[in-house]
């Protein structure tokens, strides 16, 4: 009885707690509704917001499109004072400030596009407390006059958007981002919230160290974008493949990324000539033209935007149905962020990358004039890209693994490697050899060296370390280097080995790997991707997996027109989405020149 009474008590306390939580929750939700018009928080938004409101340093890692901005915008509205938002791009700032102003929020930006008079007025407004959010680029924050001015303002907290720019191990390093800590240090003891959509575990650590916020609460959302289909195809007859893909997705919104401005122009033209509506976007275009092309895409005057990676940051179009990488991207972070712009409404998004070794060599050449360390970092990022593209393992599993998340399903059902699985084989002995090689070389080497040791290739490193004397040396000489690279990559993905967080490229044995050495269990591996696969084969089988749903095309066109009209009347550029499915496959025709 006593026990039960005790339980009862516990129950009551829980109930009371729940009520308190419920009340607080409601209040926050009321604000959410009042200010932004949303009824629900998404994912981690609410816990993050509560954390910021309770005055703690907070580190938010959320994939693109998950709703990071709200995490600091709502607290900025609730907290007393002015929230400073550090953001890397002027265009991005303007976009956000425009959106916030449309909600009736007094948000402003401080950057080099403002006149002296505008700056003086803005500063006055900030001091009086009228402004709630101030967007600044690190370059502006670095100016003494701005620091002096901000010292006079009641600052609620500092948000650092795109925080991965801090890390030189990431794909988007901005040296001035590394000075942020010193800058905000001059404003006193500030609460800091750092946000990013891409951060490998190494980059995460680097950001926290640099901002001296190792103690911060870290909120990592799952990076899994369930509705995106990932696919890598060999870069062969690419133009033909591209047009065929577009025919299959006619009338849908999509982005085609190319590496150079020249290529952007060429591909945009190719697409137009083939009867689709495409516009180019790159930094070399006249700003007015560039803006118009972007607006046309957002307003659905243009279906397809062909762009360099200059396009996309801060673009919030929910119904992008495909993202094509015509050229190989420079890093998996970039790739993930760019593909992340597809299917933001939760509906279908196809992510197609064309891949060739040739592209990798070109990218490598771009890096040759960079300082040694930067070049080395860029090389490692490219190598990750190569592994990803050529790997037989589920794309989703690999991408998530890259960002430090374990995807447990064996088959995601929504990537080329899962839909067309590679042949599998018993890899137990190979995994063991990979771990052994790591062990015998004292966990201090990268994949290339391990492959050389296993295969018995005597290069200068093997010689200088005397690794030809190791028992494992040459034990795997029956298989080629690509085979071994693939085995070691899979051993990593299945977490028998792990990356050394302090030494880029170096592999170590994980707990699971140690356990495996003591007591083996069967491990299945997949044959690595063979990029000589017949292109036609890939495509015909790919078509079979797209679930074709039919819809009333006339009605759809009418709805689209109506949406355009309403958006124009309301002067909105970002449109909400009409749910739609893949176009009927029945109408599939090959372009004339391919028949």
Shortest spacing between CB 222 and ligand ADP, in angstroms: 13
d(CA 12, CA 166): 47
State the maximum Cα–Cα separation within the chain, in Å, rounded to a whole number.
Answer: 85
H or E element, residue 486: helix 481-493
Site for ligand ADP in 39-58 (CB under 6 A): 40-42, 45
Residue 65 interacts with, from ligand ADP, Zn ion, none (CB under 5-8 Å by kind): ligand ADP
Q: What CA dihedral angle connects 490, 493, 498 and 500, to 10 degrees?
A: 100
The SS3 assignment for 425 reads strand
Residue 396 interacts with, from ligand ADP, Zn ion, none (CB under 5-8 Å by kind): Zn ion
The residues with which 59 forms a beta bridge, in sequence order, are 194, 218
Tell me: does residue 418 bind Zn ion (CB under 5 A). yes
Residue 476 and residue 455 in contact, taking contact as beta carbons nearer than 8 Å: yes
Interface pick for Zn ion out of 415, 451, 453, 492 (rule CB under 5 A):
415
Binding part of the chain for Zn ion, among 28-36, 257-265, 412-420, 496-504 by CB under 5 A, reads 412-420
Question: 48 vs 525, which CB is nearer to ligand ADP?
Answer: 48
Question: 62 vs 394, which CB is nearer to Zn ion?
Answer: 394
Q: What CA dihedral angle connects 323, 326, 328 and 334, to 10 degrees?
A: -30
Shortest spacing between CB 225 and Zn ion, in angstroms: 12
Shortest spacing between CB 341 and ligand ADP, in angstroms: 9
Residue 391 and residue 486 in contact, taking contact as beta carbons nearer than 8 Å: yes
Residue 418 interacts with, from ligand ADP, Zn ion, none (CB under 5-8 Å by kind): Zn ion
Site for ligand ADP in 294-333 (CB under 6 A): 316
Interface pick for ligand ADP out of 49, 62, 259, 285 (rule CB under 6 A):
62
Residue 41 interacts with, from Zn ion, ligand ADP, none (CB under 5-8 Å by kind): ligand ADP
Q: Name the residue with the smallest CB distance to ligand ADP.
A: 67
d(CA 208, CA 220): 14
Tell me: does residue 529 bind Zn ion (CB under 5 A). no
Could you identify the residue written with the tokens 């959106």? 99
Binding part of the chain for ligand ADP, among 34-42, 151-159, 496-504, 578-586 by CB under 6 A, reads 34-42
Q: What sign has the CA pseudo-torsion 58, 62, 64, 69? A: negative
Site for ligand ADP in 155-214 (CB under 6 A): 197
Shortest spacing between CB 45 and ligand ADP, in angstroms: 6
Tell me: does residue 447 bind ligand ADP (CB under 6 A). no
Shortest spacing between CB 396 and Zn ion, in angstroms: 5
d(CA 139, CA 179): 9
d(CA 385, CA 390): 9
d(CA 485, CA 433): 12
Residue 308 interacts with, from Zn ion, ligand ADP, none (CB under 5-8 Å by kind): none
Of 425, 393, 428, 432, the C-alpha closest to 409 is 393
Interface pick for ligand ADP out of 64, 198, 210, 417 (rule CB under 6 A):
64
Shortest spacing between CB 181 and ligand ADP, in angstroms: 23
Question: 260 vs 574, which CB is nearer to ligand ADP?
Answer: 574
Site for ligand ADP in 65-94 (CB under 6 A): 65-70
The SS3 assignment for 281 reads strand
The three-point CA angle 113-290-354 to 5° equals 125
Binding part of the chain for ligand ADP, among 63-71, 125-133, 372-380, 412-420 by CB under 6 A, reads 63-71
Shortest spacing between CB 232 and Zn ion, in angstroms: 12
Site for Zn ion in 370-399 (CB under 5 A): 394, 396
Site for ligand ADP in 467-526 (CB under 6 A): none
Residue 546's contacts (CB-CB under 8 Å, 6 or more residues apart) are 248, 582, 585
Question: 449 vs 489, which CB is nearer to Zn ion?
Answer: 489
How many binding residues for ligand ADP (CB under 6 A)?
15
Question: 64 vs 438, which CB is nearer to ligand ADP?
Answer: 64
Shortest spacing between CB 278 and ligand ADP, in angstroms: 24
Shortest spacing between CB 415 and Zn ion, in angstroms: 3
d(CA 182, CA 192): 13
How many binding residues for Zn ion (CB under 5 A)?
5
Residue 277 and residue 303 in contact, taking contact as beta carbons nearer than 8 Å: yes
Shortest spacing between CB 408 and Zn ion, in angstroms: 12
Residue 394 interacts with, from Zn ion, ligand ADP, none (CB under 5-8 Å by kind): Zn ion
Residue 267 and residue 254 in contact, taking contact as beta carbons nearer than 8 Å: no
Residue 258 and residue 307 in contact, taking contact as beta carbons nearer than 8 Å: yes
Backbone φ and ψ for 113, nearest 5 degrees, come out as -80, -10
Residue 53 and residue 73 in contact, taking contact as beta carbons nearer than 8 Å: no
Residue 412 interacts with, from Zn ion, ligand ADP, none (CB under 5-8 Å by kind): Zn ion
Shortest spacing between CB 11 and ligand ADP, in angstroms: 32
Q: Which ranges of 306-348 would DSSP assign to H, the alpha helix?
A: 332-339
Of 70, 34, 75, the C-alpha closest to 51 is 75
d(CA 47, CA 270): 48
Shortest spacing between CB 37 and ligand ADP, in angstroms: 9
Exposure string of 276-300, with b = 16+ CB inside 10 Å and e = fewer, is bebbbbbeebeeeebeebbeebbbb
Of 382, 428, 411, 589, the C-alpha closest to 520 is 428
Residue 42 interacts with, from Zn ion, ligand ADP, none (CB under 5-8 Å by kind): ligand ADP
Residue 69 interacts with, from ligand ADP, Zn ion, none (CB under 5-8 Å by kind): ligand ADP
Shortest spacing between CB 67 and ligand ADP, in angstroms: 3
Q: What CA dihedral angle connects 450, 456, 462 and 468, to 10 degrees?
A: 120
What is the contact surface with Zn ion in residues (CB under 5 A)? 394, 396, 412, 415, 418
What is the contact surface with ligand ADP in residues (CB under 6 A)? 38, 40-42, 45, 62, 64-70, 197, 316
């Amino acid at each position: 009885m006593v026990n039960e009474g005790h339980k009862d008590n516990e129950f009551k306390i829980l109930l009371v707690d729940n009520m308190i939580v419920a009340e607080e929750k409601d209040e926050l939700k009321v604000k959410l509704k009042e200010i932004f018009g949303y009824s629900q928080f998404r994912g981690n938004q609410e816990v993050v917001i509560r954390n910021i409101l309770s005055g703690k340093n907070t580190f938010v890692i959320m994939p693109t499109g998950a709703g990071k901005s709200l995490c600091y915008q709502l607290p900025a509205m609730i907290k007393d004072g002015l929230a400073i938002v550090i953001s890397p791009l002027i265009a991005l700032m303007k976009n956000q400030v425009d959106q916030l102003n449309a909600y009736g929020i007094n948000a402003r930006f401080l950057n080099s596009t403002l006149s002296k008079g505008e700056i003086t007025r803005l500063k006055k407004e900030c001091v009086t407390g009228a402004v709630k959010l101030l967007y600044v680029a690190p370059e502006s924050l670095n100016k003494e006059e701005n620091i002096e001015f901000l010292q006079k303002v009641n600052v609620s907290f500092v948000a650092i958007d795109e925080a991965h720019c801090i890390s030189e191990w990431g794909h988007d390093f901005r040296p001035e981002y590394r000075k942020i800590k010193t800058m905000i240090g001059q404003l006193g003891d500030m609460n800091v919230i750092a946000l990013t959509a891409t951060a490998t575990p190494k980059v995460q650590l680097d950001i926290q160290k640099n901002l001296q916020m190792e103690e911060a609460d870290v909120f990592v959302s799952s990076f899994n974008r369930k509705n995106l289909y990932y696919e890598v195809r060999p870069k062969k007859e690419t133009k033909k493949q591209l047009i065929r893909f577009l025919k299959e997705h006619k009338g849908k919104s999509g982005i085609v990324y190319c590496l150079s401005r020249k290529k952007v122009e060429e591909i945009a033209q190719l697409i137009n000539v083939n009867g689709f509506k495409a516009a180019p976007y790159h930094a070399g275009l006249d700003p007015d033209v560039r803006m118009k092309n972007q607006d046309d895409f957002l307003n659905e005057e243009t279906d397809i935007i062909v762009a360099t990676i200059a396009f996309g940051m801060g673009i919030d179009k929910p119904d992008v149905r495909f993202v094509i990488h015509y050229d190989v991207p420079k890093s998996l972070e970039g790739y993930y962020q760019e593909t992340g712009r597809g299917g933001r409404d939760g509906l279908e998004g196809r992510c197609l990358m064309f891949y060739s070794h040739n592209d990798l060599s070109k990218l490598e050449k771009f890096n040759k004039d960079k300082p040694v360390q930067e070049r080395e970092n860029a090389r490692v990022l490219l190598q990750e890209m190569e592994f990803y593209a050529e790997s037989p393992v589920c794309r989703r599993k690999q991408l998530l693994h890259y960002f430090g998340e374990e995807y447990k399903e064996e088959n995601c059902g929504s990537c080329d490697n899962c839909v067309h699985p590679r042949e599998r084989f018993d890899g137990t002995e190979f995994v063991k050899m990979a771990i052994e090689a790591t062990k015998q070389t004292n966990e201090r080497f990268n994949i290339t060296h391990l492959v050389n040791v296993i295969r018995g290739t005597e290069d200068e490193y093997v010689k200088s370390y005397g690794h030809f004397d190791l028992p494992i040396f040459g034990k795997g000489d029956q298989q080629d280097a690509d085979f071994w690279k693939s085995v070691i990559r899979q051993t990593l993905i299945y977490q028998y080995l792990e990356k050394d967080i302090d030494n880029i490229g170096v592999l170590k044995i994980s707990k699971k790997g140690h356990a495996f050495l003591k007591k083996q269990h069967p491990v299945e591996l997949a044959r690595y991707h063979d990029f000589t696969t017949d292109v036609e084969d890939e495509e015909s089988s790919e078509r079979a997996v797209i679930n074709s749903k039919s819809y009333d095309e006339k009605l759809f066109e009418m709805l689209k027109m109506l949406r355009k009209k309403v958006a124009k009347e309301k002067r909105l550029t970002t449109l909400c989405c009409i749910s739609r499915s893949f176009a009927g496959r029945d109408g599939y025709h090959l372009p004339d020149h391919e028949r």
